[in-house]
Structure 1
Amino acid sequence: MDLSLRLETLDVPDINSLVRLSAAVGWDYDAAEIGTLLAVGRVFGHKTAAGELVSSAAVVPYAPDRAHMGMVIVHPDFRRGGLGKAVTATALGVMTIGSCVSLVSTPEGLPLYEKMGFEIVSVVHKYVRSQGLSGYADKPIDQGNVVSLRWDDIERVNALDVQAFGVDRREFLRHRVRQASAGWMLVNGAQIHGYALGIKGAASWILGPVVARDDWVATQLTAQIAQATMDAMRIDVPAQHADWAACELPRWGFAKVAEPPVMTYHGRPLRFGKGLYALAAQVFG
C-alpha cells in the first residue's frame, strides 16, 4: 500500500469527491444519496497527499449488532494495492464482534469479501427499466386505499418496517422520506398494510423500500411509483419474492439484469421478514 495515502473518516465536505469516485467506476451516486448515507452511516476512504479521494467504504449501523455495508470502491488507478481490504476492515471495525454485517456484492468485490470472511447467504434479484418503458399494464385497482405517505406517518410506517427488515431503522426512514420524490401507503382505516418509496437519482429512480402485507399490496404500491414517471428505474428484490418479481415487474417494463449475492460476515443469518419486497438500495439494504 502507498504509505502517502491517508485513510480518513469522510463527511459532508467529501460529498462531491464521493460522487466523482463512484462515477470513476461507472456508478451513479448523486449528492442526495450520499448525503443520506453520511447522515445515517459512517463512511471511510483513502486520500492522496493532494486530497484526491481514491477509495471508500460505508457502514450503516441499524442496531448495536446489525449493520449493512456498501459503496466499497477503489479508483481504477489505485487497485491491487490493498486499499479495498484496508477500507473495508475499517468499516467493519465500527461494529462489535459477532454483529451481523451484510452487504450486496458486485462480481468484482466477491473475491475480496470472501477472503475477509464474508459468506453468501442469499441473492438479490435486480430489475431495471429503461427510460420510456412505462405503462405496459393498466394500473391495478387500488379501491381508494393507496394514499400519499406523509411526514406524520413515519412512526406507523416504521412499525411495519421493523417487522419486514428485522431491526428498527427509524432514523434512516426519516432521512429517506425527506429524500423521496414519491411515497405511498396502502391503508385500511388506521391500519397500514404496506408502503413504498421512489427516489429520483442522477441516472434513474430507485423503487424501494417496498414493504407489504402480501403480493397484492406490493403490486398496488409498486404500480403507483412505476407508472408515475417515464424515467429509468431500478428495483432490488430479495430472493423470497423472486416469483412475485418475475410475474409482476415485467408488466411495467422491468427486466432482470443481475442476481448479486447477499453476504454476511462469517455467515451470520439475516432476519428479513416476509414483508420485505424491495431493498431501499443496495448500499442501505
Structure 2
Amino acid sequence: MPTPLAEPSIRPLTLRDLAPCVAITADRGWPPDERKWRLLLTAGTGYGIDDPSGTGLAGVVVLTRYGTPGAGHPGEFCSVGMLLVAARYERQGLGGLLMRHILRAVDGAPLALYATRFGQPLYERLGFTTVAQNLTVTGRLHAPGPPSGPAGGITVRTATADDLPALIRLDETAFGVDRTLMITRLPAFAEQLRIALDGSEVIGYGAAWASAAADVIGPLVARDTDTAKALIASLGAGTRRPLRTDIDTRHEDLLRWLKEQGLDTVLGSPVMVLNTSGLPGDADRRFAPLSMATC
C-alpha cells in the first residue's frame, strides 16, 4: 500500500517529466503516446504531484491556453486534459486537488474539457456544465480515396509552410480563438497535414498523427460535411493503420458516412465548460479536436 498523501504539493511539469507522464498514462490503461505528451508539455502547461516513494508521479493534469490572456479574459479560452491519478493513489482526492489548482490558475477564464464517465461527477461538483457530446470512432476505411457523392470543386493536397497563415485563420473561425502556438506545431507533430481547396480558397484542413494503436485524425476543420469527408478520405488513403477520430454528435451526416465506411463508435464523451455558456467559434466548421486533451 502506498503512503497516503496527507499534504501533496503540485508543481509545474517540464520535458524532464516526459517518461513519468507516459508511465502514469499506461498505468491507467490509456495509450502511452510520448509524442502527444511532448506536444502537450510544450504547447501547454502540465502540473503534477510527485509520488513520495520517488517512483514517478501520483497525479497529472495539463492546461492549454489559447488566445491572449488579459483583464476580464477577452479573447482567451483554456482547455484542460490528461487528468490522471495513478491507480495506487486513487480515491485520495488527488483529482479534485489538481482540478482546483487549474481553476485557480485560469482565474475565471472560460475553460472546457472532454469528460470521462469517471471524471464527470467531479467536474459537475466543480460547476462544469455539459454543452455538447462527442463520439470517438475507430476502424479502417472501406475504400480510402475521394468520397462518393457530390464534392463540387474540392481538391485536397498536402499543406506547405506557405499555407499556415490560411490554416490559422480558418482554425480561428472554427474554434473561436487564436491557436497559433498549437497549429504551427502541427507540421512537425503530424504524419500528415492536408488542406482542402475550392479553387484557390482554403476551405478546410485536417491532420493525422500516430497514436499507439491508430492514426488519429484531428484537428479537422471544414467548410461543410463534403469537405470533411474529402479530408478524411485523403488522410485515410495516406496510411495503412486504423484510424481514430473524435466527432461532435451534431455532425450526424459525417458520423453516418464514417459508419458506412467501416468505423465503429467506441466511446461517447460529454464536452463540459466552466465560466462560459458554450464553446466559442463555429460549430458547423469544427468537426474534430486535435485530441480530447486539447479541445
- State the TM-score, normalized to the length of structure 2: 0.89
- Amino acid corresponding to residue 224 of structure 1 in structure 2: S
Do structure 1's residue 270 and structure 2's residue 270 form an aligned pair? no
Note the 1:134-283 alignment, pairs <5 A: 134-136=141-143, 139-140=146-147, 145-241=155-251, 243-266=252-275, 268-273=277-282, 274-283=284-293
Unaligned runs of 5+ in 2: 70-75
% identical aligned pairs: 25
Unaligned runs of 5+ in 1: none
Do structure 1's residue 44 and structure 2's residue 53 form an aligned pair? no
2:145 and 2:179 map into 1 onto residues whose CA distance is: 34
SS in 2 for 1:27: coil
Q: For residues 190 and 184 of structure 1, do their structure 2 counterparts lie closer, same or farther at Cα, with a shift above 3 Å needed? A: same
Q: How many residues align?
A: 280
Q: Tell me if the contact between 1:137 and 1:251 (Cα under 8 Å) persists in the aligned partners.
A: no
1:46 and 1:229 map into 2 onto residues whose CA distance is: 38
SS in 1 for 2:181: helix
SS in 1 for 2:10: strand
* Root mean square deviation, CA, Å: 1.8
SS in 1 for 2:271: strand
Alignment-derived partner of residue 70 in structure 1: 81
1:81 to 72, 92, 106: 92
- Amino acid corresponding to residue 83 of structure 1 in structure 2: L
2:145 and 2:233 map into 1 onto residues whose CA distance is: 9
Do structure 1's residue 14 and structure 2's residue 23 form an aligned pair? no
Alignment-derived partner of residue 56 in structure 1: 60
- Amino acid corresponding to residue 260 of structure 1 in structure 2: S
2:66 and 2:238 map into 1 onto residues whose CA distance is: 31
- State the TM-score, normalized to the length of structure 1: 0.92
Superposed CA deviations along residues 103-148 of structure 1, whole A, max 9, x for unmatched, are 000001011111111111111121111xxx3334663277672111
1:144 and 1:255 map into 2 onto residues whose CA distance is: 27
Alignment-derived partner of residue 73 in structure 2: none
SS in 2 for 1:202: coil
Q: Tell me if the contact between 1:236 and 1:281 (Cα under 8 Å) persists in the aligned partners.
A: yes
Q: Tell me if the contact between 2:117 and 2:269 (Cα under 8 Å) persists in the aligned partners.
A: yes
- Amino acid corresponding to residue 98 of structure 2 in structure 1: V
- Amino acid corresponding to residue 176 of structure 1 in structure 2: L
2:242 and 2:281 map into 1 onto residues whose CA distance is: 28
Q: Tell me if the contact between 2:154 and 2:227 (Cα under 8 Å) persists in the aligned partners.
A: no
Shift, 1:180, TM fit = 0.6
1:31 to 29, 34, 48: 34
Shift, 1:230, TM fit = 2.6
1:29 and 1:175 map into 2 onto residues whose CA distance is: 20
Q: Tell me if the contact between 1:4 and 1:48 (Cα under 8 Å) persists in the aligned partners.
A: no
Range moving further from structure 2, 3-12 or 102-111:
3-12
Q: Tell me if the contact between 1:36 and 1:176 (Cα under 8 Å) persists in the aligned partners.
A: no
- Amino acid corresponding to residue 76 of structure 1 in structure 2: A
Q: Tell me if the contact between 2:138 and 2:265 (Cα under 8 Å) persists in the aligned partners.
A: yes
Do structure 1's residue 119 and structure 2's residue 118 form an aligned pair? no
Alignment-derived partner of residue 101 in structure 1: 111
- Amino acid corresponding to residue 277 of structure 1 in structure 2: F
2:260 and 2:237 map into 1 onto residues whose CA distance is: 10
1:247 and 1:78 map into 2 onto residues whose CA distance is: 41
Shift, 1:256, TM fit = 1.4
Range moving further from structure 2, 187-196 or 162-171:
187-196
Q: For residues 123 and 27 of structure 1, do their structure 2 counterparts lie closer, same or farther at Cα, with a shift above 3 Å needed? A: same
Superposed CA deviations along residues 65-118 of structure 1, whole A, max 9, x for unmatched, are 310110000111101111101111112222132x21000000010111111111
